[in-house]
A and B are shown apart, each in its own frame.
Chain A
Amino acid sequence: AQKITQTQPGMFVQEKEAVTLDCTYDTSDQSYGLFWYKQPSSGEMIFLIYQGSYDEQNATEGRYSLNFQKARKSANLVISASQLGDSAMYFCAMREGNNAGNMLTFGGGTRLMVKP
């Protein structure tokens, strides 16, 4: 079974509107972390936001927020006031428990395209 599922291969959003990118995860660990990374066309991986499984509040970083619904095992990324520079691939990732290498498992990604 996929540990991280991103069901939206591609999405369009109008500039200045908000958009939600979906991510569901599968783990039996009680302690885990969820991450979102952005990959623009230049190729680098840029960390955006982190949510710990024990964090009671949803994480926020500027225009990025993470809608964490633990019971549903979802960790959706919300981008408010989209900008043209937000056009990129977005990856959801999970670190499970206390695995020795603190390894991340990535989803397949969502390509976001912001329309002017």
Chain B
Amino acid sequence: NAGVTQTPKFRVLKTGQSMTLLCAQDMNHEYMYWYRQDPGMGLRLIHYSVGEGTTAKGEVPDGYNVSRLKKQNFLLGLESAAPSQTSVYFCASRPLQRLAKNIQYFGAGTRLSVL
């Protein structure tokens, strides 16, 4: 019963390095999301996808890129990491059904530190 799986769980980067965070869901959900959570704050949306091959910007997209080549996977990329991107990153997904409660299901998070 995997649900939403994020890899890696922890990562430490040096400023300027690049990395990709992987989110995989096995619930056949159409929508997928990437959020960041900073201390003392709620989650803020970085990018989202409403289906395979589509992506859109959220509230705080600068410095990040995303791709959704397969329905079950949503990748978040940092091309040149900065200390301001130190955060906990959450992936979420939800189904398309119009009558659903629009509940988003979250992964366990990735803790990223940029030195």
Known: A101-B56, A103-B33, A104-B45. A47 touches B103 (CB 8 A): yes
- Identify which of B11-19, B73-81, B104-112 touches chain A: B104-112
Pick from B33, B45, B108: contact of A44, CB under 8 Å: B108
B residues contacting the other copy or chain, number (CB 8 A): 26
Question: Which residues on A sit within 8 Å (CB–CB) of B94?
Answer: 102
Interface residue ranges, B against A (CB under 8 Å): 31, 33, 40-45, 48, 50, 56, 58, 88, 90, 92, 94, 101-109, 111
6 pairs from A and B in contact (CB 8 Å cutoff): A4-B42, A91-B43, A101-B48, A104-B33, A106-B42, A106-B43
Question: Which residues on B sit within 8 Å (CB–CB) of A52?
Answer: 101
Question: Which residues on B sit within 8 Å (CB–CB) of A44?
Answer: 106-109
Question: Which residues on B sit within 8 Å (CB–CB) of A108?
Answer: 40-42
Question: Which residues on A sit within 8 Å (CB–CB) of B31?
Answer: 101-102
Closest B residue, CB atoms, query A92: B42
Bound-complex Cα distance A47 to B56 (A): 24
Pick from A4, A47, A107: contact of B105, CB under 8 Å: A47
A residues contacting the other copy or chain, number (CB 8 A): 26
What string of 1s and 0s marks CB contacts (under 8 Å) between A33-57 and chain B? 1010100001111110010100000
- Please give 9 more A-B residue pairs, beta carbons under 8 A apart, in addition to A44-B107, A45-B43, A105-B45: A33-B102, A35-B103, A45-B90, A46-B106, A101-B33, A102-B102, A104-B45, A104-B104, A106-B44
Flag whether A1 is at the interface (Cβ < 8 A): no
Bound-complex Cα distance A107 to B103 (A): 16
B82 → A minimal CB distance (Å): 23
Question: Which residues on B sit within 8 Å (CB–CB) of A42?
Answer: 108
Bound-complex Cα distance A43 to B88 (A): 9
A93 → B minimal CB distance (Å): 8
